Amino acid sequence: MNIKRIYNLENLIKKQKVLVLYGPRRVGKTTLLKEFLAKTKLKYKLDSGDNLRTQQILSSQDFSLILEYASDYQLIAIDEAQQIPNIGMGLKILVDQVKDITIIATGSSSFDLAQKIGEPLTGRKITKTLYPISQIELLAEHNNKFELKEKIEEFLIFGSYPDVITANSRLEKINILEDLINSYLLKDVLTLDRIKAPKPIIDLLKLLAFQIGKEVSLNELAVQVRLDIKTVDRYLDILEKAFVIKRVYAFSRNLRKEISGKCKYYFFDNGIRNALVSQYNALVDRNDIGALWENFIVMERIKKQAYEPIFSSNYFWRTYDQKEIDWVEEREGKLFGYEIKWGDKNIKEPKLWRETYDNAEYQVINRENYFEFVA
């Protein structure tokens, strides 16, 4: 089954601009790029950041060498561009010096690629993130809402990576996820000079896997993984920028009852989360359904925000006396609070929420109405 992705690169590329396509490893960036190149009428060069000669050329800042490299091409495509030192300067030279050039650069680690591209390409780049397959993409191409709702258990357990969705059996899905964990998940993270061993990172991720939807204490994490707080914070930042986890901050207007300065963490994909803790059992045999459901809804909402797009700042809201709202969006001058629940129990809006923010809205997202929220 070929799943058509949301992005049409033909509509995103522009002359004298670099299209930067971020996303986790194995999410389909290279496939999307090659499918576009197979159809384009532009004369192109496809190269890889893993190629040592390409690294030497594009990191050299040698105008003549870089311009010779791109000579006679209308489009330069660099896959895994984060592997190239000072890639931003090399691409800036191309954009500024080659008339009508178009450039696409893909990268699986935004922390690395952004640092190398951000400042040199100010005003010269278009940035997009490709996520694991979204409900929007599945609805558009292969399913209706009823069919997708019938498959909700698969999404909660095995996630939405392309290879997982197209796998033919439960065992094949598990094998793919195990391979993702062992071969790809930490590849970018562990290439950093300051990180020498995977065990502390894996231990940290496993702790986060059991705290989805809960406030995370850096002190507690540091004690359990036997690292100092600054190191834990740095690891969390790197894991987020490597598209493994997503950090959400607490919303507060500095009222005494509101918790501030806290964070919650979600996984970019449910399957990755479950693979980390080796839990692939059916929902009927699990005690973490609420956490899986919240993780799924949050990440599908983030995909929708990116793809439509919806411009929003995202938070959670909680008070010291345990009043809470799972997901808060601040957009268009208003607040929108969403409580995410797997069960059908009637949930009352926290009284303090409306009393404190008179322009705020509130809605419960459950199995009956979630589709309008994520697709």
Crossing angle, helix 110-117 and helix 229-241, to 10 degrees?
80
What is the per-residue pLDDT across 147-188, written as a single tens digit (0 to 9) for each? Answer: 999 999 999 999 999 999 999 999 999 999 999 998 887 776
Helices (H), the chain: 9-12, 29-39, 52-58, 63-70, 87-97, 110-117, 135-141, 145-150, 152-158, 162-166, 170-179, 187-190, 199-209, 218-225, 229-241, 270-276, 289-307, 351-356, 370-374
Average the pLDDT over 201-230 and give the result. 93
Average pLDDT over every residue of 311-340: 94
CA-CA distance, 60 to 32, in Å (whole number)?
29
Q: What is the pLDDT of residue 113?
A: 60
Residues 294-320, mean pLDDT to the nearest whole number? 96
Q: What is the pLDDT of residue 114?
A: 61
Torsions phi, psi for 87 (to 5 deg) = -60, -35
Angle of helix 199-209 versus helix 218-225 axis, rounded to 10: 130
CB 353 within 8 A of CB 359: no
Residues 186-215 have pLDDT tens digits of 776 776 546 667 788 899 999 999 999 999
Q: Are 185 and 244 in contact (CB under 8 A)?
A: yes
User: Is residue 178 a contact partner of residue 275, using CB atoms and an 8 Å limit?
Assistant: yes
Helix/strand/coil for 231: helix
The answer, yes or no, to whether residue 354 has pLDDT greater than 60, is yes
Confidence of residue 266 (pLDDT cuts 50, 70, 90): very high
Predicted pLDDT at 188: 67
Q: Report how far residue 185's alpha carbon sits from residue 188's, in angstroms, rounded to the nearest whole number.
A: 8
Domains and CATH numbers, the chain: 9-129 (3.40.50.300), 135-307 (1.10.10.10)
In this prediction, what percent of the chain has a pLDDT beyond 90? 74
Q: What's the pLDDT at 191?
A: 67
- Reported confidence tier of residue 136, pLDDT bands at 50, 70, 90: very high
The mean pLDDT value for 59-69 works out to: 95
Q: Among residues of the chain, what percentage have pLDDT more than 70?
A: 94
| pLDDT in the model for residue 323 | 86
Mean pLDDT calculated for residue range 335-358: 90
